[in-house]
């Protein structure tokens, strides 16, 4: 195959990855789109040309012979259905993270993948960010020795903006934010250490968002819209303090990984700033990102076992071009390389499944008094 013809399911939000795939003079071209909103499809067609195929029924997109691959960038609760259907229709698939909202859903996708013989990639774009690729390289170099502990703090400064004004805030559509949001962080813990989680225990609650506002209240018609700090006026307008909200906004997880690695993860959605802080401690030293995209600091021990911060252990990260710290154009290229050149992707399906399985286990734990939950291992395919 010299050029892959791609169809997008879910043309808004993450569907805007199409701009990195639509290269008519290159190795990929977007030829179709499916969505549940006609206005979204109209705008999609305006951006890409009137000869583009668009439909409100994703099945019609999958039935077309002029589409080789499908990118599933629709809401999380649709991923399982769409990915299985696309693989069964003989399409190569890019599925945005999380792979599904249940472990069983992921396993169903894996089974369809194995049966179809097609290619599958999961949209864990943090694997393509320069900051985390640098941390992966540092860990692999052995400079901090064998990793024994991982600490991750995630301040979600835009938590209200991104997660409590729409479907993300309802369990039946997202399972919870230890899955929807934390699957990125869980995947980074797995990827950089090189092993998966075996068991978890978690605690969490809804400490800020949710409340007694009616479920049909939207910001644009609310009497408090001019004074509420959480008011939104784009496509996410549902009140962040409505009754139906039942996902946690403040959580902590402890994890035991393979090889005995201990990890902890904290997530707060009402922090004043947005920041991910990762610390990896090994037998010979520690590495930590001081901010998300500019610097990694490595501290190592001398023979007297004293910690020293060597100047040559500061890794400066150059700014990248493209959304998500430059990851989006790179992950899109990796998908094309997988389909066209049969190159193994960095974001493999098995890793996508294990981040979901860990997030689901942690969610089960926190909703059951913090009891220890075993993470289901990968199924035998």
- Residue 165 sits at φ, ψ, to 5 deg, of -110, 10
Q: What share of the chain is helix, strand, coil (3-state, %, to 5)?
A: 35, 25, 40
Q: Categorize the per-residue pLDDT at 294 as very low, low, confident or very high, splitting at 50, 70 and 90.
A: confident
* Whether the Cβ atoms of residue 243 and residue 215 lie closer than 8 Å to each other: yes
* pLDDT greater than 90 at residue 310: no
CA-angle at 146, arms to 144 and 147, nearest 5° = 85
CA 229 to the chain's CA centroid:
27
- 3-class DSSP assignment, residue 62: helix
Structure tokens at 305: 């076992």
Q: What is the pLDDT of residue 148?
A: 98
CA 56 to the chain's CA centroid:
25
DSSP string, 72-101: E-S-GGGHHHHHHHHHHTT-EEEEESSS-S
Which residues on neighbouring strands pair with residue 92, listed in sequence order?
69
CB atoms within 10 A of CB 369: 8
Q: What is the pLDDT of residue 305?
A: 53
Over residues 47-66, the pLDDT tens digits come to: 998 889 999 999 999 999 99
- What percentage of the chain reaches a pLDDT higher than 90? 87
Give the fold, CATH level 3, of 4-123+328-348.
Answer: Rossmann fold (3.40.50)
**Segment 86-103 mean pLDDT:** 98
Q: What is the pLDDT of residue 300?
A: 85
Q: Categorize the per-residue pLDDT at 318 as very low, low, confident or very high, splitting at 50, 70 and 90.
A: confident
Sign of the Cα pseudo-torsion (248, 250, 256, 257, in order): positive
* Whether the Cβ atoms of residue 250 and residue 210 lie closer than 8 Å to each other: no
Please, which residues have CB within 8 angstroms of residue 185's CB and are 6 or more apart in sequence?
152, 154, 265, 267, 276
- Where exactly does CATH 3.30.360.10 map onto the chain? 127-320+354-374
* pLDDT greater than 90 at residue 127: yes
Q: How many helices (H) and strands (E) does the chain have?
A: 12, 16
Q: What is the pLDDT of residue 28?
A: 97
- 3-class DSSP assignment, residue 353: helix
Higher pLDDT, 324 or 156: 156
* pLDDT greater than 50 at residue 340: yes
Higher pLDDT, 293 or 94: 94
Q: What is the pLDDT of residue 301?
A: 74
Q: Categorize the per-residue pLDDT at 299 as very low, low, confident or very high, splitting at 50, 70 and 90.
A: confident
* pLDDT greater than 60 at residue 303: no
Sign of the Cα pseudo-torsion (78, 81, 82, 84, in order): positive
- DSSP letter assigned to residue 242: B
**Segment 217-236 mean pLDDT:** 93
Q: Categorize the per-residue pLDDT at 319 as very low, low, confident or very high, splitting at 50, 70 and 90.
A: confident
Best CATH choice for the domain 127-320+354-374 from the list 3.40.50.150, 3.40.50.300, 3.30.465.10, 3.30.360.10:
3.30.360.10
Nearest of 23, 20, 44 to residue 32 by alpha carbon = 44
Q: Cis peptide before 74, with omega less than 30 degrees from 0? A: no
- Where exactly does CATH 3.40.50.720 map onto the chain? 4-123+328-348
- 3-class DSSP assignment, residue 196: coil
**Segment 309-337 mean pLDDT:** 80
Structure tokens at 356: 């979901």
Nearest of 185, 188, 192 to residue 146 by alpha carbon = 192
* pLDDT greater than 60 at residue 20: yes
| Least confident interval from 155-164, 299-308, 328-337 | 299-308
pTM, two decimals, is 0.94
Q: What is the pLDDT of residue 308?
A: 54
Over residues 195-212, the pLDDT tens digits come to: 999 999 999 999 999 999
């Amino acid at each position: 195959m010299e050029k892959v013809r791609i169809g997008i399911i879910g043309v808004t939000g993450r569907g805007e990855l199409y701009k990195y795939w639509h290269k008519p003079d290159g190795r990929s071209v977007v030829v179709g789109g499916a969505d549940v909103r006609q206005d979204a499809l109209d705008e999609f067609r305006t951006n890409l040309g009137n000869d583009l195929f668009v439909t409100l029924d994703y099945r019609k997109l999958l039935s077309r012979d002029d589409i080789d691959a499908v990118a599933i960038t629709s809401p999380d609760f649709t991923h399982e259905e769409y990915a299985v259907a696309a693989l069964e229709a003989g399409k190569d698939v890019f599925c945005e993270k999380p792979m599904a909202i249940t472990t069983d859903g992921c396993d169903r996708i894996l089974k369809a993948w194995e049966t179809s013989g097609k290619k599958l990639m999961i949209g864990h774009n943090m694997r393509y960010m320069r900051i985390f690729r640098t941390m992966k390289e540092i860990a692999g170099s052995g400079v901090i020795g064998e990793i024994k502990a991982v600490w991750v703090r995630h301040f979600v400064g835009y938590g209200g903006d991104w997660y409590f004004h729409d479907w993300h805030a309802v369990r039946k559509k997202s399972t919870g934010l230890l899955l929807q949001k934390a699957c990125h962080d869980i995947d980074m813990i797995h990827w950089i250490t090189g092993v998966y989680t075996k068991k978890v225990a978690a605690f969490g609650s809804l400490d800020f968002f949710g409340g007694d506002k009616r479920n049909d209240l939207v910001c644009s018609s609310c009497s408090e819209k001019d004074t509420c700090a959480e008011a939104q006026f784009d496509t996410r307008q549902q009140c962040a303090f409505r009754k139906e909200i039942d996902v946690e906004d403040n959580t902590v997880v402890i994890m035991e990984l393979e090889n005995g690695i201990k990890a902890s993860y904290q997530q707060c959605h009402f922090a004043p700033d947005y920041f991910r802080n990762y610390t990896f401690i090994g037998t010979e030293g520690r590495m930590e990102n001081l901010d998300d995209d500019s610097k990694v600091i490595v501290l190592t021990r001398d023979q007297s076992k004293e910690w020293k911060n060597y100047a040559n252990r500061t890794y400066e990260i150059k700014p990248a071009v493209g959304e998500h710290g430059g990851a989006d154009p790179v992950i899109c290229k990796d998908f094309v390389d997988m389909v066209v050149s049969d190159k193994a992707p960095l974001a493999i399906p098995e890793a996508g499944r294990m981040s979901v399985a860990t997030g689901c286990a942690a969610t089960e734990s926190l909703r059951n008094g913090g009891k220890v939950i075993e993470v289901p291992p990968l199924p035998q395919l």
